[in-house]
Amino acid sequence: MAIVGNWNFNNDANDSVGAKHFTGYGAQLAHKPLNGWNGCYYFNRNDGTSYLQQNARIINTTSYSIIVWVKFTWLKTATVGYGNWIVNQRNNPAAGDYQLYASCPVIGSSSIGFNFADTGGIYNAVILLNSTPVLNKWYQLGISLKHSDILKGYLNGVKVAELDVTGKTARLTSTTTTIGRAGWGGQDFEGNIDELKVYNNPLSDADFKNNYLYYKGFF
């Protein structure tokens, strides 16, 4: 596997394997109770400005994987609109590359889902959790996309969804990557985000499982 970005969020929002550093806008460094040395970021939607962002495209390949740990402290339901965007590569509402989020009418109220746009402008989605996430509980979320083949979703180290994307090429046009809200603002996440990792290849089932088994003790 080839990791292209690794954000531990222990002391800052810097990339530990390269120079893809995020700038913080209101998001606060926090510490998980059981492991005071191991930090994470807390996002408060009520602050009005609480996110991490960089003017760069982290994902530049049409095959890739994402792993991130999240804890929701609030959820917006479909009856009141969109919310809880975790990480996305989008410049504006009309066009984007991908987004990982919860509580969106497109994927179903109080679900966790991911979608990517192909070069034809069609969004291809998988649902990682088809029920309301438990508040104040950590989840490991994983995405694996193999170019023109298959999109897979993982929850706590287990594959829970897959979608045939034969003939589909992921769109790579956005130049902004955002954590904690949509790239253009709004869709605010509330809770904690930690241990974000991005790879330039599709990971195996064992890779997601091993990440979960290693990190679950820290949460």
Look at strands 23-25 and 3-7 and give their pairing. unpaired
Of the chain, the percentage scoring pLDDT greater than 70 comes to 90
CATH number of the domain where residue 93 is located: 2.60.120.200
What tens digit of pLDDT does each residue of 139-178 get?
A: 999 999 999 999 999 999 999 999 999 999 999 999 999 9
8 A C-beta contact, residue 27 and residue 43: yes
Read off φ and ψ for residue 112, nearest 5 degrees: -110, 130
Number of H helices, E strands in the chain: 1, 15
Q: How sure is the predictor about 107, in pLDDT bands with cuts at 50, 70 and 90?
A: very low
Q: What predicted TM-score, i.e. pTM, was given to this entire model?
A: 0.94
Structure tokens at 27: 């998001």
8 A C-beta contact, residue 117 and residue 170: yes
User: In which domain, by residue range, is 79 found?
Assistant: 3-218
What tens digit of pLDDT does each residue of 43-82 get?
A: 998 877 899 999 999 999 999 999 999 999 988 765 555 6
Q: Give me the number of domains the chain comprises.
A: 1
